[in-house]
Structure 1
Amino acid sequence: MPMAPGDIEDLIKAGIPGAKVTIRDLAGDGDHYAAEVVAEAFRGKTRVQQHQMVYNALKGNMGEALHALALQTSAPE
Structure 2
Amino acid sequence: MTEIAKHAEVSTATAYRHFSSAEDVLHAFRVQVSFTLRDFSATRTTVACSASKQCPDTGCRSSNMAERWCRCARTTAT
Q: Give the TM interval when normalised to the shorter protein.
A: 0.3 to 0.5
TM-score (norm 2): 0.35
Structure having the higher helix fraction is: 2
When Rg is computed on C-alpha atoms for both structures, the one with the higher figure is 2
